[in-house]
């Protein structure tokens, strides 16, 4: 029975059906073919339980905060501030793209949304300065993957609800890995700069830097409020999302770029994006229920233990497996399906769930850069009007650096757990 379901799953993926529908169709097919009334009666309850979690409330709230920021001109001010600081260095606009993405990552939490937004802003500007369009698109896409790592992060929220790990600890654990990814991409740009001699902009005056700083300071309240509010125990991650929305709304009005007439469109965009993710969570949860019924987690656990009892080897195998999965499966869907399978192994190998969450989420985020199903590639290729094959070639150095950073974080546990340990003290 399960062989038929897996065959249907692969067939639907190959012909290009959206992953949420693939999960729904294959799950329903299994339920109908199994003819087991127990499963049929339990399915609606399992689907509901997939989204019946307070922690998931943070997702629409952070999405709303991102929409309010974009509509309120906060995004452009962050980019402008980064540009006046380092834009005058050779290759400065490429560095600006990475740093601006790191700023935005502390608010948006979605790599796809960030890649789409920054492609519209940065690719035309970089091309105007003399950068190749495919390189501009590649650096914009690559640096957007810090969004699900630096808090807030939708992947961390979902992982926390699945495993019971503290979402606040996961948020804090993502800070250093996110910075390492950004620094890694800056190193790649620096190496390429030595060979290609990228262009540079005019140096900003001191008055321009001060003016830009004053314009961006209110916007910087949002990431600082989120991070230090959670660290100080003032509010939970979900409450911080609501506070971020209020601050983004007030700042947008203060900047006079957010209009009340824009609010219906902003709310509709938030609802549509939230509904898309919620439906994916529901269908993936149902598919995960079927996998659990077939006792696939136990089979995987036994297979892993049969290969090696060394946790370092286990983590290496997990990395290889997830990198391959990321090439064909959406990150959120893969997270919901695979985490229940891998969770029992963490206690056996004595791996910290928070550290494992960082490894898994970075793995699946890298999948946005990898063909054939890397959604980030399709989004940026379409918006930036770059040939898909050219974008893949240009993204390779950044993909290699992302995998290197992943391996460092896999075997350097303190990089992820140092800040959460301070938070507990």
pLDDT digits (tens, 9 = 90+) for 325-336: 777 677 777 787
Side-chain half-sphere CA neighbours of 163 within 13 A: 30
Give the pLDDT confidence score for residue 127 in this predicted structure.
Answer: 82
Could you tell me which residue, 57 or 397, shows the higher pLDDT?
A: 397
Q: Is the pLDDT of residue 373 over 70?
A: no
pLDDT digits (tens, 9 = 90+) for 305-318: 677 778 888 898 88
Give the pLDDT confidence score for residue 423 in this predicted structure.
Answer: 67
Q: Is the pLDDT of residue 116 over 70?
A: yes
Confidence grade of residue 424 (pLDDT, cut at 50, 70, 90): low
Q: Report the SS3 class of residue 147.
A: coil
Q: Is the pLDDT of residue 425 over 60?
A: no
Q: Is the pLDDT of residue 158 over 60?
A: yes
Give the pLDDT confidence score for residue 90 in this predicted structure.
Answer: 74
pTM of the model: 0.78
For residues 353-358, average pLDDT: 92
Confidence grade of residue 38 (pLDDT, cut at 50, 70, 90): low
* Across 182-196, 221-235, 379-393, least confident range: 221-235
Confidence grade of residue 50 (pLDDT, cut at 50, 70, 90): low
Q: Is the pLDDT of residue 36 over 70?
A: no
Q: Is the pLDDT of residue 259 over 60?
A: yes
**What would the two tokens of residue 413 be?**
């546990």
Nearest to 380 by CA among 363, 362, 404, 398: 398
**Alpha helical stretches, state H, 19-174:** 19-34, 37-51, 58-71, 74-86, 92-105, 111-129, 133-144, 154-163, 167-173
Confidence grade of residue 300 (pLDDT, cut at 50, 70, 90): low
Give the pLDDT confidence score for residue 81 in this predicted structure.
Answer: 78
Average pLDDT, the chain: 80
Give the pLDDT confidence score for residue 53 in this predicted structure.
Answer: 66
Give the pLDDT confidence score for residue 298 in this predicted structure.
Answer: 64
Whether the CB-CB separation of 238 and 58 falls below 8 Å is answered with: yes
Q: Is the pLDDT of residue 256 over 60?
A: yes
Domain boundaries, the chain: 36-424
Whether the CB-CB separation of 185 and 98 falls below 8 Å is answered with: yes
Distance (Å, rounded) from C-alpha 165 to C-alpha 156? 9
Count CB neighbours of 251 within 10 A: 23
CA dihedral for 409, 410, 414, 418, sign (positive or negative): positive
For residues 233-260, average pLDDT: 80
Q: Say whether the peptide bond before residue 372 is cis (omega within 30 degrees of 0).
A: yes
Confidence grade of residue 217 (pLDDT, cut at 50, 70, 90): confident
Count CB neighbours of 317 within 10 A: 14
Whether the CB-CB separation of 329 and 363 falls below 8 Å is answered with: no
Confidence grade of residue 109 (pLDDT, cut at 50, 70, 90): low
Side-chain half-sphere CA neighbours of 86 within 13 A: 14
pLDDT digits (tens, 9 = 90+) for 404-421: 999 999 999 888 898 888
Q: Report the SS3 class of residue 140.
A: helix
Q: Is the pLDDT of residue 357 over 60?
A: yes
For residues 349-361, average pLDDT: 90
Give the pLDDT confidence score for residue 400 in this predicted structure.
Answer: 92
pLDDT digits (tens, 9 = 90+) for 57-100: 777 887 787 778 777 777 677 777 777 777 667 777 788 888 88
Confidence grade of residue 230 (pLDDT, cut at 50, 70, 90): confident
């Amino acid at each position: 029975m399960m062989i038929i379901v897996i065959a249907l799953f692969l067939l639907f993926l190959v012909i290009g059906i959206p992953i949420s529908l693939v999960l729904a169709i294959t799950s329903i097919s299994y339920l109908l073919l199994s003819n087991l009334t127990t499963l049929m009666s339990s399915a609606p309850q399992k689907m509901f339980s997939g989204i019946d979690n307070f922690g998931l409330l943070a997702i629409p709230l952070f999405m709303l905060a991102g929409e309010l920021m974009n509509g309120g001109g906060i995004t452009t001010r962050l980019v402008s501030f980064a540009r006046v600081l380092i834009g005058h260095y050779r290759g400065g606009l490429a560095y600006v793209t990475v740093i601006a993405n790191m700023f935005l990552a502390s608010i948006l939490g979605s790599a796809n949304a960030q890649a789409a937004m920054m492609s519209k802003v940065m690719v035309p500007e970089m091309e105007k300065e003399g950068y190749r369009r495919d390189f501009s698109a590649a650096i914009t896409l690559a640096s957007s993957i810090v969004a699900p790592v630096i808090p807030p992060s939708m992947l961390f929220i979902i992982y926390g609800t699945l495993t019971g790990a503290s979402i606040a600890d996961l948020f804090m654990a993502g800070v250093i890995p996110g910075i390492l990814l950004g620094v890694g991409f800056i190193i790649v740009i620096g190496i390429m700069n030595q060979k290609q001699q990228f262009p540079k902009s005019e140096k900003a005056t001191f008055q321009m830097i001060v003016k830009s700083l004053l314009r961006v300071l209110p916007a910087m309240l949002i990431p600082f409020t989120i991070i230090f509010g959670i660290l100080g125990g003032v509010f939970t991650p979900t409450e911080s999302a609501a506070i971020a929305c209020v601050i983004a709304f007030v700042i947008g009005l203060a900047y006079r770029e957010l209009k009340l007439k824009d609010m219906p469109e902003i709310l509709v965009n938030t609802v549509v994006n939230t509904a898309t993710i919620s439906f994916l969570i529901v269908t993936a949860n149902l598919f995960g229920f079927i996998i659990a019924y077939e006792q696939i987690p136990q089979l995987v656990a036994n297979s892993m233990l049969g290969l090696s009892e060394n946790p370092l080897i286990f983590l290496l195998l997990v990395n290889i497996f997830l990198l391959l999965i990321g090439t064909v499966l959406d990150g959120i869907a893969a997270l919901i399906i695979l985490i229940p399978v891998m969770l029992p192994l963490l206690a056996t190998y004595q791996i910290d769930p928070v550290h494992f969450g960082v490894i898994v989420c970075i793995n699946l985020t890298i999948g946005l850069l990898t063909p054939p199903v890397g959604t980030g590639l399709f989004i940026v290729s379409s918006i930036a009007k770059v040939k898909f094959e050219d974008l893949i070639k240009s993204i390779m150095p950044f993909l290699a650096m992302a995998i290197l950073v992943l391996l460092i974080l896999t075997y350097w546990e303190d990089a992820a757990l140092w800040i959460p340990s301070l938070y507990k003290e």
